[in-house]
Amino acid sequence: MHTLSTLDPDFETRFSRIVNARREADSNVAGQVSSILADVKGTGDKALVDLTQRFDGYALVEDADWVVTKERMAQAYSEIDQDLRDALELAAARVRAYHEAQVPDDRDYTDAVGARLGAIWRPVDAAGLYVPGGRAAYPSSLLMNAIPARVAGVERVVVVTPTPKGNSNPIVLAAAHIAGIDEMWRVGGAQAIGALAYGTERIKPVDVITGPGNAYVAEAKRQLYGVVGIDMVAGPSEILVVADGENDPDWTAADLLSQAEHDPTSQSVLITDDEGYARQVEDAVDVLLATLETGKRARESWDSHGAIIVVNDLAAEAPPLANRLAAEHVELAVDAGLAEQLLKDIRHAGSVFLGRLTPEAVGDYVAGPNHVLPTGRRARFSSGLSVLDFMKRTSFLALDQNALEAIGPAAAALAHAEGLPAHAKSVEVRLK
């Protein structure tokens, strides 16, 4: 049911369906989100009160109902198990080290005509981070979003997170303590994105919004792009595993289901050159699904969107298929030499995991590279979250008389050609 082969006469039709599968929100979500954002823009805190009560069953009445204090974050950190504290600290340290290497250098130089040129990188003033708190709570997402912002030098880092029935996940709060979050608001959904973008009586607006969420959160970010900066419009999770028959099918089954368990609309795809192994993996998936607490959700994802593709030659056929999928996560579970070759040939992927001992799940937590990645084939034109998402570049130019004389006449000529005489005049009056 899940398996197709490049030798099948209808392979192209079936594979195109996988590539073009619409696994994201329908138009009804867009309309609802537009209404929510208009409500937040128009009535501010009142809208947040009404919508939080409606969607999360939580009343925002007193000041203490709105925020998680730094003292509460610190308390949560002190109360969680030592093993979890150590794991969070290890993850934070590795993520910080990886992202510190991303900080760009300013440029300042003088060219051959004597013109001084350059660019200065500066952080945004305020960043808003969305941290899910509905179906699952993800302390790892908080670290992955907050630490690059801190490394970039953002002064005000704000978290919004839903707290259904008033419940906050203590591990998320502990992660917020580690990351040094300035504000943590107990609101979620599209309304929280609207509050960060427009500002309300209580919540000051931010310059950039990042972080994953459900279809309503993703749609709110899409609609508000331009009002604020956004990292990306994230859709359902994806994994592509490229594996030969030398792998343990149980390992590959676990890798595929590691993304399927996120959401019924997640997508898990295996490309292999061993038909017998393909059957073993499908059997192993069925066995593992029966044991997972998330089995119902993962089963729905696997049945609806899972696929196993059998090819004749991994080196020749896997890269073009992978490039068409442009998946969020790509595992290359093959020997080192082939993995390096495939890495060079796969141009479109959010993040790549090399070798049989590098499961994608490690990258979700403690590896260092960011796990906030483009989905829905957006890896064709976008990248994972980085320090640069929290920074902007300002160019500068300085001319002396000699430099102006060297390049000014050309500028004036182009201005005249474009029918902009004032542009030309502003140059010409400075020429000898």
Active site residues: 328-329
Tokens of 35: 């209404």
Using alpha carbons, select from 301, 307, 374, 352 the residue that is nearest to residue 135: 301
46 SS3 class: helix
Q: What angle do CA 92, 95, 100 make, to 5 degrees?
A: 120
Provide the token pair at 243: 């594996």
Q: φ and ψ at 352, to 5 degrees?
A: -120, 140
> Sheet containing 107-110: which strands, arranged edge to edge?
107-110, 116-123, 391-398
Give one DSSP letter per residue of 346-368, joined into a string.
Answer: ----SEEEESTT--HHHHTTTSS
Backbone angles phi, psi at 240, to 5 degrees: -120, 120
- Dihedrals φ, ψ of 128, to 5°? -110, 130
CB proximity list for 284: less than 8 A, separation 6 or greater = 249, 250, 252, 253
Kindly report each contact of residues 92-97 with a partner whose C-beta sits within 8 Å and lies 24 or more positions away, as own/partner: 92/143, 92/147, 92/175, 92/178, 92/179, 94/366, 94/367, 94/368, 95/143, 95/144, 95/147, 95/148, 95/368, 95/370, 96/147, 96/150, 96/151, 97/368
| Pick from 317, 285, 327: nearest CA to 302 | 285
Q: At residue 261, what is the residue type?
A: E
Best CA proximity match to 24, nearest among 213, 269, 208, 228: 213
Query: In 3-state terms, what secondary structure has residue 331?
Result: strand
CB atoms within 10 A of CB 10: 8
The answer to whether 179 and 150 are in contact (CB under 8 A) is yes
